Structures are given as C-alpha cells and as structure tokens.
Structure 1
Amino acid sequence: MNLLSNQLTMQRFCSSGLVRHFSEVLITLWRWRPRVKKNLGTTTTLLLFLPLLIATAFISSLWNSDTSNFSVHNISRNKTVIIVSRKPQNRPPKRITTPLNCVKNQTQTCPTNYPKTSQTQKSISDYSITPTSTCPDYFRWIHEDLSPWKVTGITRDMLERANQTAHFRLVLVNNKVYIHKYKQSIQTRDVFTIWGILQLLRKYPGRLPDLELMFDCDDRPVVLSRDYSGPNNKGPPPLFRYSGDRWTMDIVFPDWSFWGWAEININPWESLLRELKEGNNRRNWIDREPYAYWKGNPFVAETRRDLLTCNLSDKHDWNARLYVQDWILESKRGFQQSNLASQCAHRYKIYIEGYAWSVSEKYILACDSMTLLVKPYFHDFFIRYLQPLRHYWPIRDKDKCKSIKFAVDWGNTHKQKAQEIGRAASNFIQEELKMEYVYDYMFHLLNEYAKLLKFKPVAPDGAVEVCSETMACNANGSHKKFMMESLVKGPSITNPCTLPPPYEPKVLGAFYRRKLNAILQVQKWEDRYWESLKKQ
C-alpha cells in the first residue's frame, strides 16, 4: 500500500507544473558547473545535486496527493522558484438523502429531529467552484407583484383581511409548517399546493425566514386595485393565488399541477417534461399535421364555446382541428386518450383561457408546435415574460376563426420562421421552467414577501402542523403516487439562482411597447390578407 501511495503521489507531482520549474533549476545548476573543479568527478557532482533531490522528495511528501495546496511562482530574472502554501479549495458537498419517516399502525406525526439548517446547506457558501446562476428574467415580476406593499409593508390587519376568500392560512415558524384550513378547494388544489411548499423546505431547509400567508385556490383574482387607490385606504390584503390580471393585486404563485393533477391523471412536472420532450422527438415539425389543434373542456367559458365554431365543417375549413375533452368519460376509460406527450402531432396548437387562466398553457407551449395564443386576460407567474412573434403567435379574441386561418396559412408559407417560434417556446419551457427554477421562484417570492411583514408570524389556534410525512405516508392511490414521485429526496447541493433586480420603469415600458407593437404588426398582416382575398 505504501509503495502504491508513493507511486500515485509521484504521478500527481510529475503531472503538475512543478516539474517544469525544477527543470529550470537543474539547467541553472548545470550552468554553474565550471565553478566546480573538474577533478571532483561523478561523486562530487552527485553530491552537488543531492540537496535538490532531497528538496524534491520533501515537496512531494508535502504535496500529499493534492497539488492544489501549493502555488508556484517563477521569478524570471534569476530563475528562482518559490513554492507558497495556499488554503485548499473545498470539494463539492455530498448530496444528502432525507427519507420519509413513516410509522405503521400509529398516528403519523412530524419528525422532531428535522435540522433547522442542513450541514449540506452550511457548506455551500464555502463551495465556490462555480458561481450561482442568475434567475430567468420572468423572476423580475416578483418585484412587481409585491410592489403594492413596498412602502407600507404588510401589517397584521392587512393579512387578516385576506382571509375573506382564502382557502387556507400557512404559517412557517422555525422551519415548521402549520396549516389552518378555512374551506375546501376545488379537487385537491390546496393539498398539492401545500405539498409543493413542503418540498421547497426539503430542498432548502432552514433557508426561509418565518412567514405567514393566505392562499386562495380559485381561478380568478379578487383583490381589485381600484379599491385601494385612494390616499386613505387601509392597504390591499396580500392574497396568494395561481393567476392575476392587470386590474388586480393578487400575488401569483406556481400552480398545484407542478406536483401532479391526480384527478385527471397529469403527472408531476419533472417527469412530464421529459415525456413531452420525447413526444416532440417522435415527429419532426415538418411532418406534422399542417393544422391548428386544440382539445379541452369548452363548457367552462363562452370564449371556448365560440372557438368550437372554427372547427372543420361542410361550409368552412378554418385550418383548425378542435376536440371536446369529456373528463368524466376519460376517467372511466383510464385516461387512454389524454396523454399530453402524444398530442404534439400538429404544427400549431391553440391556447385559450377557460374561466380564467388555464393550466394547459405550459403543456401547449412545450410541444415544439407554434402556439396560437388567443388574446389572454389573465397571467400566471411566467407567461408575462413571453413575447409575440418570438414565443407565440397572437390570435384575436374576436373573430377567432379568421385569425386562426391566417396564422396557419402564414406558418405553412413561412415554415422556417414558424418552426423557430415553436422551438423558442419549447426551449423556454424545457430550460427556464424546469422544476429547479419553479422551486427557486417560490423561494425568492416567499423570501421577499417575508421581508415585508411588520409582525411576528405565529401559528393561530386551530392550526395543524404538517410535513411530508403527515401528507404522504397515509395517502392512497394516485395521490400517494404523485407525492412520492415529486418528493424532494434531500437538500440541494447548490444555492438558489440569484434574483435579478426589478425592472426600471423605462425598461418595463419598452417591454410592453415591444409586445404591443408585435401584436399590432400581426393584425396588420392579417387585415391585408383578408383584404387581398376579397379583391380576388
């Protein structure tokens, strides 16, 4: 073993830059040889180099299998070699796995030995081989969503007024989560939203400050800006939900489906994203059906029922192929006709809102197909960043059929550009909306929100402590399946991405003008198209 260790040490030494510097010393000594009497012979010559050999062995032993402990400086004037010890660079922290602590035949409780801050997280700050990446630009909207409280902060009174429509209150104190439910949400939206926040705490344990928030799981935002525009208003209540619009001040948060939508068999986002990528690779864009595809529930909104009039008929072909999704029937059939990865077979896919914003948005954008986005009135946490003609093609909400037909005709004529638009959207979804960034968005949003609180968060009477164990250990069926699939296995070995600064007013204004100009440009092209057909 000692022989092998010595061999490895010498290999590391010889492969280092020191060999070159010692060679220079040998050359220098060789130039000194005239000063040595010629009759000293070989023995004296060896004695002359003996100190150098001893020094080499000494340095090799100090090297101790890690050449990074030393730095070498060569002073060119006299070929002097200086070896300076420096602090060894930290190695990447080892990934830690935190298994669920499920107990059998007992009432499941939360473990009491959860660390406030994991050892892995403590060592990250000392590990700087690669710098922390900057978050995607859509993170800037965190600042915009929290701007109503930038000056005043958030008081206890403001928070309590948010419970008028909230489904639950979440309190984080000393890295423990307490939930006070006010009412049942649609399906299991509240369950998987809470589950997602618990996974965030597993990913970054002890990194978030204490906080207290109200969450509304319904579709439409309710905190109207006009109600808090006067000088004597009490301040808007901070209310979290999945979407917002230009007239409201609700705080937008990633939706529950990122951890799975059990009721309609949609897998958690991390695995589904891989499936969508594989589905894209099955069929090249040019080989796909040259029509616009949509499949969904048309009965939730008038605008969707209006969309169905654009379907293929004996009188018209608006280049649209539209299908009604009957979720009750699909559930009975085992969801055989609702696989999202198999729905990337058309060159164009239509996104249209339902009662409000729709979860389907990210699935459609991920398909490599050019997304035809019917004018939206609501936004989720990332869609505000996307630009028309770069990530999607804008469709008018009035006279949809003509708008869709023109978009498809334009794309089939400008195939390369249409492919670029579709690919830009899917690349954004794959690279900038991966689960890593979803968690980082949540982290920064909650962290910035907590900074605004003007009171000490306290678990209220009636609140129940929850953790991954209390939610997953006793779950059944697809609920348990999705929870186990989306379970964060342990603390992250990297820091969250760096939150970019807020938009400057001029920059944000230019962003909106660029978006509006692109939409107006498309409308001009569309008007000319139909005018030219009338003249024929």
Structure 2
Amino acid sequence: MEEEKLHGLPSSKRTPRSLKVPASAAVFVLFLIIVLSGCIISGLDIFIFPGGSLREVFNVNKIPEDSLRSSQKIEYLLNCTNATKPQTCPIDYLTMFQPTDLPARECPEYFRWIHEDLRAWKSTGITKEMVERTRDFAHYRLVILKGRVYVEHFRKPYQTRDVGTIWGIVQLLRLYPGKIPDLELMFYCNDQPVIMKNDYQGPNATSPPPLFRFCGNQSAFDITFPDWSFWGWAEINIGPWESTVRAIRQNSEKIEWNDKVPYAYWKGNTGVAATRRDLMKCNATSGQDWKTHLYHQEWSREVSQGFKQSKLEDQCTHRYKIYVEGEAWSVSEKYIMACNSMTLMVKPDFLDFFTRGMIPLEHYWPIRPDNKCRDIKFAVEWGNNHPQEAQVIGESGSKFMEEGLKMKNVYDYMFHLLSGYGKLITYKPEIPPGAIEYCSETMACPAQGLFRKNMLESMVKSPSDSPPCTLPPPYELGEFQAFLGRKESVSRQVERWEAEYWEKMNKN
C-alpha cells in the first residue's frame, strides 16, 4: 500500500525583477491567497494541492494555521449522519503513519508469546483452505483490506463479545493507519478451546486451522487475542479498561495496607463453574475459619438494582483477593489484580494473552485447585506474618496491570499479532459476499446508552505519536523450557512452605 503524503500550499516565490505583473493581476492573486487561507483556517475538508490535485479527506476535527507542518497532530472526527439515514463509513481514510516520537521502546516480555501462538504455521503458511476449515464453529470472519474492516457474521455469540472485539480492531487501524497488512481471520467468541493439538498429531496429520479467541492453553492451537472488555462491558456496567483501572487504583490507595481486612476476598458468579462452587466451601464458618470472605454475585439482581453492589473500585478493601476461573478464563482477572492486594491465583487451565508473562511470588501467590481452602488459609497467614513481602507482591501485580496493560500495550500486542499473522497468509484476502463494513461511524453513531458511552470514551482520537514497540525475539527452546520451569519451581517452593506450616499446626 503506497503511503499518501500531506502537501501544503506552495510557498510564495519572489517575482523575478524581469517579469512585470499587472496591478490588477497582483490584486487578484492576493485575493485568491486570502480566500484559500480562509478555507484552510475554517477547516474545510478539501483544498487545492500543488499541481491541482485534491487533498484526501481525513475527517480531522480542526485544521489550524500550522496544519501543514509534518508534526501536526491529526484529530479524528466522528461524523454521524441524520438518524433517519443509514450510517455509512467515510469514503477516504488516513493511510499515512508518521510518528514523531522515536525510537520505539521494547515491548513487554509477554509479547514473546506471539511467536509461540503463530509457530504452528511458520513453516507452512496459512492457506485459504485452512481458514475455511473453522467456519463451522467460528462466530465471524473478519477481513482487513487497505485499512478497512469487513465482517461476515455466522452466528451470534454471548452478549456483545463480537461487537467489542471488532470495535477494538477498528480503533487499532485508527491508531496505526496504513500499517496493518491485508488479512483474513476467523474468530471464536466462546470460552472453551476448539483446535486441539491431539487432533493434529501423527504422520498423516494435516496442518491445524488458525482460529482466534480470548484465551488459550497448552492443549490447543487457538490464537489468543485481547478480550472485548478492554473497550468496556456494557451488559454488566463496566467501562473501558483505562478509566476502570484508574478508578480501582484511586480507591485502593485510600486504604493503607494495615487497615485492609486481613482476609481473602472473592465475589463472582458461582453458576458458571464447579471450581467456583467448590471455592465457596472455603467460606469462614463458626466451625472453621479458612480466612476468606466469599460472595455469590447475583447478576440479575444487580441489573435490576442498578449495579449498586458490583462496582469494581469498591472491592479493594481486603489484603488478599482470589482469582478463580469460570467456564474457562475470566476477564475478572485484570480487575482483581489491579487492587493492590496480593492476588491468590487458583492455578488456571486457561491463560489470556498477558497472564503468560506473570511469575508466582512476583505478581501473585499460587493456589492449587484441589487444595483451595488449606492453600488460601496458609497464604493469608503467611501474608499477615510477612506484611511487607505480601504488600510487595500485591503492588507488583497491580503495577503489571496498570503499566504492562496500558492500552498502548494492548494495541501494540494486537498490532504485532495481526502483522505476524498477516505475513503468514499465502493468498490475497477478498471481501466476503454479504460482509458488513465496520468503522467508528457505523458502530458508535447508532449505539445507545452505556454502549455508546463506552465507545466514545475508548475511541482512538488521533494516530499514535510513537511507533509500535519493538517485538522481542522468540524464545529459544531451552530458554522457553527454563521460563516454564522457573514458574513451576516457585510454585513447588510454596507447597513446601505450606507442608511445613501444617505439620507444625498439627503438632500444636
């Protein structure tokens, strides 16, 4: 894709002394310059290029006098038409990306997992036939062509998971205009994995088909992508990630560590998974105190009562917070870890894109799924006896959420994942028959209520000032195994500490 460059009006040239210009002509030229300058300053979308060509319409919010300088920051304008007319996407998009802040910083360590997610197709590439093999269970097909997004819907997912993710991709293209390659992908919005590794082993096995979803695990080839809630989850009254994590941080800092409740806290929907119902057995009772305060979240009641008891920023009152999976991974993880409390993470089977870079005892405390109550009690007792160490773990996990998961990093992860995926495609993507074009206008303009509020708040207002971060290299085989081994070794150390603790308790 050729980049189109903004050009300014030609600078005025001094008239050679040998050339005599009639006074009337000079007046006319002066008048023309004033008129054109007025057009530029007033913000008209089209004005004259040198050579007589027309400036591309970029939907900028305003064009001040210095708009023609290369450093001018372009601001996107959301152009909503009359409500009685169908909303359409602008004809022309910005296709040029010229960051002013150089050089690029290095991406966080967890970006290295992008190489692992795409490794299955490194030698074969991705063919059209591979992509089509996922149609029976994908919720939609998404195509990017020349910076525009087209979606073919196959089936409706739970709530608006598809809408939130598509919105995020549309914003990515606004952040880095002209930088995402043409590509075609299939997206699966449910929780459980689909492309299992066991189905593609053996001498006669075919190459696995690529499928995007929100979490992955060691048993599947599914490609992990940031979930919809980073741009808000309107159905349960959650705003975009940036404003939500800011509110969580501000409220958590109001309570000193020593003033927080010295128990472990969890609140969520127990109906979605047996492991959560099992966790509820650890609730403190008159007969046994497992050092927990656990609550079932009744979402239907919350909806009817205006979400008064489910504000995430109000759930940072305890020194320890528990993360436990639902049907698979849970979006609650990032909100729990943002609380500045020490996160007690029940060992998950599924991991989202950023969790894979976290280390036990550095970002969280590991809890075994089959020994929840005893593990949680020991973790709380250890933390209460080692308050400084527990506080450091809690703050480290929160810092990972607040800094490692800045929206710039989320977008950069999407950028590198889609760019790497696009380079593996061996065919030229095309717009599917019946596909719908998506853009900020077609999505935000007709939206209402909290859906519209979340979109307007999370909308990318202008191209990035800086380039995407620099993707770190893939793990070497030995390095990758060492990283996984380190995490396992730390968890085993915690188990040894706990065994000693219970042995002493039994003796007493």
Q: TM-score, normalising length from structure 1?
A: 0.81
CA distance in structure 1 between the aligned counterparts of 2:256 and 2:407, rounded to whole angstroms = 26
Which residue number corresponds to residue 187 of structure 2? 215
1:406–1:529 contact (8 Å) kept in structure 2: yes
Counterpart secondary structure, 1:347: strand
Of 65, 87, 91, 1:108 maps to 87
2:485 aligned partner, one-letter code: R
CA distance in structure 2 between the aligned counterparts of 1:92 and 1:517, rounded to whole angstroms = 52
CA RMSD of aligned residues (A): 1.1
Choose 348-357 or 273-282, whichever is displaced more: 273-282
2:78 aligned partner, one-letter code: L
Which residue number corresponds to residue 370 of structure 2? 398
1:173–1:211 contact (8 Å) kept in structure 2: yes
Counterpart secondary structure, 1:163: coil
Which residue number corresponds to residue 286 of structure 1? 258
The structural deviation recorded for 1:334 is 0.5
Q: Deviations over 1:409-451 (max 9, x none)?
A: 0000011110110011001111110111000000000000000
Q: Deviations over 1:290-322 (max 9, x none)?
A: 000000001111110010010011211100000
CA distance in structure 1 between the aligned counterparts of 2:502 and 2:414, rounded to whole angstroms = 45
Q: Deviations over 1:142-178 (max 9, x none)?
A: 0000000010010111000011210000001111111
Does residue 160 of the first structure (1) align with residue 132 of the second (2)?
Answer: yes
Q: Displaced runs of 4+ in structure 1, greater than 3 A?
A: none
Counterpart secondary structure, 2:115: helix
Does residue 95 of the first structure (1) align with residue 73 of the second (2)?
Answer: yes
1:93–1:493 contact (8 Å) kept in structure 2: no
Of 435, 450, 461, 2:407 maps to 435
The structural deviation recorded for 1:233 is 2.2
The structural deviation recorded for 1:231 is 2.9
1:188 aligned partner, one-letter code: T
The structural deviation recorded for 1:96 is 1.2
CA distance in structure 1 between the aligned counterparts of 2:308 and 2:492, rounded to whole angstroms = 41
The structural deviation recorded for 1:464 is 1.3
> Residues 523 and 92 (structure 1 numbering): CA distance in 2 closer, same or farther, change over 3 Å?
farther
The structural deviation recorded for 1:504 is 1.1
CA distance in structure 1 between the aligned counterparts of 2:465 and 2:372, rounded to whole angstroms = 48
CA distance in structure 2 between the aligned counterparts of 1:274 and 1:390, rounded to whole angstroms = 22
Of 163, 169, 172, 1:200 maps to 172
Which residue number corresponds to residue 384 of structure 1? 356
Does residue 412 of the first structure (1) align with residue 391 of the second (2)?
Answer: no
1:95–1:492 contact (8 Å) kept in structure 2: no
CA distance in structure 2 between the aligned counterparts of 1:286 and 1:436, rounded to whole angstroms = 34
Q: Deviations over 1:57-115 (max 9, x none)?
A: xxxxxxxxxxxxxxxxxxxxxxxxxxxxxxxxxx9823211111110031111110212
CA distance in structure 1 between the aligned counterparts of 2:378 and 2:392, rounded to whole angstroms = 18
Of 227, 230, 233, 1:261 maps to 233
CA distance in structure 2 between the aligned counterparts of 1:427 and 1:322, rounded to whole angstroms = 25
1:94–1:493 contact (8 Å) kept in structure 2: no
Counterpart secondary structure, 1:214: strand
Counterpart secondary structure, 1:398: helix
Q: Deviations over 1:382-410 (max 9, x none)?
A: 10110011111001111211110000000
Which residue number corresponds to residue 317 of structure 2? 345
Counterpart secondary structure, 1:154: coil
Which residue number corresponds to residue 27 of structure 1? none
1:189–1:256 contact (8 Å) kept in structure 2: yes
Which residue number corresponds to residue 312 of structure 1? 284
> Residues 242 and 291 (structure 1 numbering): CA distance in 2 closer, same or farther, change over 3 Å?
same
Q: Deviations over 1:336-394 (max 9, x none)?
A: 11111111110000000011000000001111100000111000001011001111100
Counterpart secondary structure, 2:468: coil
1:114 aligned partner, one-letter code: Y
Which residue number corresponds to residue 228 of structure 1? 200
CA distance in structure 2 between the aligned counterparts of 1:134 and 1:293, rounded to whole angstroms = 36
Give identity over the alignment, percent. Answer: 57
CA distance in structure 2 between the aligned counterparts of 1:433 and 1:144, rounded to whole angstroms = 20
Aligned length: 439
Which residue number corresponds to residue 275 of structure 1? 247
Which residue number corresponds to residue 67 of structure 1? none
Counterpart secondary structure, 1:499: coil
Structure 2: segments with no counterpart, 5+ residues:
1-68
Q: TM-score, normalising length from structure 2?
A: 0.85
Choose 235-244 or 97-106, whichever is displaced more: 97-106
Counterpart secondary structure, 1:271: helix
Of 476, 479, 499, 1:507 maps to 479
Rg (Cα) greater in structure: 1
Which residue number corresponds to residue 136 of structure 1? 108
Which residue number corresponds to residue 444 of structure 1? 416
The structural deviation recorded for 1:493 is 1.4
1:158–1:234 contact (8 Å) kept in structure 2: no
Structure 1: segments with no counterpart, 5+ residues:
1-90
Counterpart secondary structure, 2:369: coil
Which residue number corresponds to residue 82 of structure 1? none
